[in-house]
Amino acid sequence: MRYQLKQIYCRPWTLSGLSLPLIESHYENNYGGALRRLNAITEQLESLDFANTPGYVINGLKREELVALNSTLLHELYFASLGGDGRVTNAMSEALARDFGSVQCWRTEFSAMGYALGGGSGWVLLCWMPRDGRLINQYAAEHSQAVAGGIPMLALDVYEHAYHIDFGANVKAYVDTFLRNIDWQAVEGRYEDAIKVAPPRPLVQEEFGNLPGVGVEEVRAMLAEGKPLQLIDTRPMHFVSRQKDIAEGVTWRDPERVQEWMGELSKSDPVVVYCAYGFHVGCRTAIALREAGFDARYMKVGHSGWKAAGGPIRMQA
Ligand SMILES: [Fe+2]
Same domain, yes or no: 295 and 152: no
Same domain, yes or no: 18 and 89: yes
Burial 114-153 (b: 16+ CB within 10 A, else e): beebbeebbbbbbbbbbeeeebebbebeebeebbeebbbb
Give kind and range of the element (H or E) at residue 299.
Answer: strand 296-299
Q: Examine the fold and report which residue of 194, 229, 251 is the final residue of a domain before the chain moves on.
A: 194
Same domain, yes or no: 185 and 215: no
Q: Ligand 1 centre and the CA of 40: distance in Å? A: 19
pLDDT tens across the length of the chain (317 residues): 899 999 998 999 999 999 999 999 999 999 999 999 999 999 999 999 999 999 999 999 999 999 999 999 999 999 999 999 999 999 999 999 999 999 999 999 999 999 999 888 999 999 999 999 999 999 998 888 888 788 999 999 999 999 999 999 999 999 999 999 999 999 999 999 999 999 888 887 888 888 889 999 999 999 999 999 999 999 999 988 888 899 998 999 999 999 999 999 999 999 999 999 999 899 999 999 999 999 999 999 999 999 999 999 999 87
Same domain, yes or no: 97 and 232: no
pTM of the complete model beyond 0.85: no
Q: What pLDDT score was predicted for residue 20?
A: 94
Q: Ligand 1 centre and the CA of 161: distance in Å? A: 6
Same domain, yes or no: 214 and 118: no
Same domain, yes or no: 185 and 58: yes
Structural domain total, the chain: 2
Number of C-beta neighbours around residue 21 at 10 A: 11
Report the SS3 class of residue 51: helix
Q: What pLDDT score was predicted for residue 71?
A: 94
Same domain, yes or no: 170 and 34: yes
Domain that holds residue 308: 206-315
Same domain, yes or no: 265 and 233: yes
Q: Examine the fold and report which residue of 194, 214, 237 is the final residue of a domain before the chain moves on.
A: 194
Q: Compute the distance between CA of residue 226 and CA of residue 221 in angstroms, rounded to an integer.
A: 9
Q: Examine the fold and report which residue of 155, 171, 194 is the final residue of a domain before the chain moves on.
A: 194
Q: What is the CATH number of the domain that holds 239?
A: 3.40.250.10
Q: Ligand 1 centre and the CA of 30: distance in Å? A: 6
Q: Ligand 1 centre and the CA of 159: distance in Å? A: 6
